[in-house]
């Protein structure tokens, strides 16, 4: 498996410095938080996109994907959501990133069935555009659809190879699924896996990998046992927790922890 980290852990850091951290600490890729407050976002001009591509190529680090914020199950008009996804897909194509992350975002004013249908309709439409661009849309296990079973209700309706799943191990755990259940649900559609660690269900402040309660060893063991050979991406949510320890000083230990789990499960 290949290792990456998310720029959510180093908010606002210039891309060249992010890539320098990846190479210095032995990570193969970077997940880019695609938000206007970050260096890489859909508002970049063609020349700015070319600079991003050149910086990745010079570093030898891979752009794993764009972590976007489109909410495919949210109430409202489809057009704005689809336009947001198209912008993310175009940017991913220009940067050579294989994946775009979207959230479910279903509202309490909808029934689960209505949210599922809304998300599936939008993802089915966006899938055709994604296919033309050679990029895959991944629905993250998050918010209204935090478990693998929740995500599968949508993905089963879509049934398109360009739409898959992003397994956030914290949210499936918070939703009461064990790793084997999550993998079984998501495996046919799995793009990559976001790993992290937290103190408890009531305190989701990011911790160094292995310092919290999330079943990372079980997750890696399941993936290894099933022969899955994709990406593990450390999503350290420093952006939302200013008091959290800075990520750069944790990167070596985090890589070593994941490598140890991979060795133990081999």
- pLDDT tens digit string along 141-171? 999 999 999 999 999 999 999 999 999 999 9
| Beta-carbon contacts of residue 113 (< 8 Å; ≥ 6 apart) | none
* pLDDT value, residue 109: 85
pLDDT at 49: 98
Three-state secondary structure call for residue 14: coil
Q: Give CATH for domain 2-265.
A: 3.20.20.150
Burial of residue 2, with CB atoms counted within 10 A of its CB: 0-12 exposed, 13-18 middle, 19 or more buried: middle
What are the structural domain ranges in the chain?
Answer: 2-265
Residue 251, classified by CB atoms within 10 Å of its CB into exposed (0-12), middle (13-18) or buried (19+), is buried
Model confidence band, residue 266 (pLDDT cutoffs 50, 70, 90): confident
Nearest to 195 by CA among 173, 227, 175, 226: 173
pLDDT over 90 percentage in the chain: 97
What pLDDT score was predicted for residue 107?
A: 85
Question: What are the C-alpha distances in Å from 248 to residues 128, 229, 236?
Answer: 39, 26, 11
pLDDT score of 108? 84
Whole-angstrom Cα distance, residue 197 to residue 195? 7
In sequence order, the 6+-apart residues with CB closer than 8 A to the CB of 7 are 13, 18, 30, 31, 32, 33, 38, 40
pLDDT value, residue 210:
96
pLDDT at 175 over 80: yes
Q: What percent of the chain has pLDDT over 70?
A: 100
**71, 219, 99: which is closest to 165 by C-alpha?**
99
Q: What are the pLDDT digits (tens) for 191-206?
A: 999 999 999 999 999 9
Model confidence over 69-96: pLDDT tens digits? 999 999 999 999 999 999 999 999 999 9
Contact 138, 102 (CB under 8 A): yes
Cβ neighbours of residue 1 closer than 8 Å, sequence gap 6 or more: 223, 224, 228, 229, 230, 231, 232, 262
What are the tokens at 179? 């790793």
Say what the pTM is. 0.97
Angle at 38 between CA 35 and CA 43, to 5 degrees: 60
Q: Do 88 and 70 contact (CB within 8 A), yes or no? A: yes
Mean pLDDT of the chain: 97
What's the pLDDT tens digit per position in 109-139? 899 999 999 999 999 999 999 999 999 999 9
Interval 21-76: pLDDT, tens: 999 999 999 999 999 999 999 999 999 999 999 999 999 999 999 999 999 999 99
């Amino acid at each position: 498996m290949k290792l990456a980290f998310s720029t959510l852990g180093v908010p606002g850091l210039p891309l060249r410095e992010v890539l320098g951290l990846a190479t210095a600490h032995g990570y193969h890729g970077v997940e880019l938080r695609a938000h206007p407050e970050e260096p890489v976002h859909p508002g970049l001009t063609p020349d700015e996109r070319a600079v991003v591509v050149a910086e990745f190529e010079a570093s030898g680090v891979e752009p794993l994907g764009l972590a976007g914020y489109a909410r495919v199950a949210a109430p409202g008009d489809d057009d704005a959501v689809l336009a947001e996804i198209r912008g993310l897909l175009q940017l991913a194509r220009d940067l050579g990133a294989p994946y775009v992350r979207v959230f479910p975002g279903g509202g309490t004013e909808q029934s689960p069935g209505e949210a599922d249908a809304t998300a599936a309709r939008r993802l089915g439409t966006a899938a055709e555009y994604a296919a033309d661009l050679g990029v895959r849309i991944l629905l993250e296990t998050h918010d209204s659809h935090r478990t693998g079973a929740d995500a599968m209700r949508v993905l089963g309706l879509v049934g398109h190879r360009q739409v898959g799943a992003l397994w956030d191990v914290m949210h499936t755990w918070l939703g009461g699924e064990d790793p084997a259940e999550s993998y079984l649900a998501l495996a046919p559609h799995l793009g990559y896996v976001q790993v992290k660690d937290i103190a408890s269900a009531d305190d989701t402040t990011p911790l160094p990998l292995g310092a919290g309660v999330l079943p990372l060893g079980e997750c890696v063991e399941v993936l290894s046992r099933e022969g899955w050979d994709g990406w593990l991406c450390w999503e350290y949510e420093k952006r939302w927790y200013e008091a959290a320890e800075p990520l750069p000083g944790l990167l070596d230990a985090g890589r070593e922890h994941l490598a140890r789990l991979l060795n133990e499960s081999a």
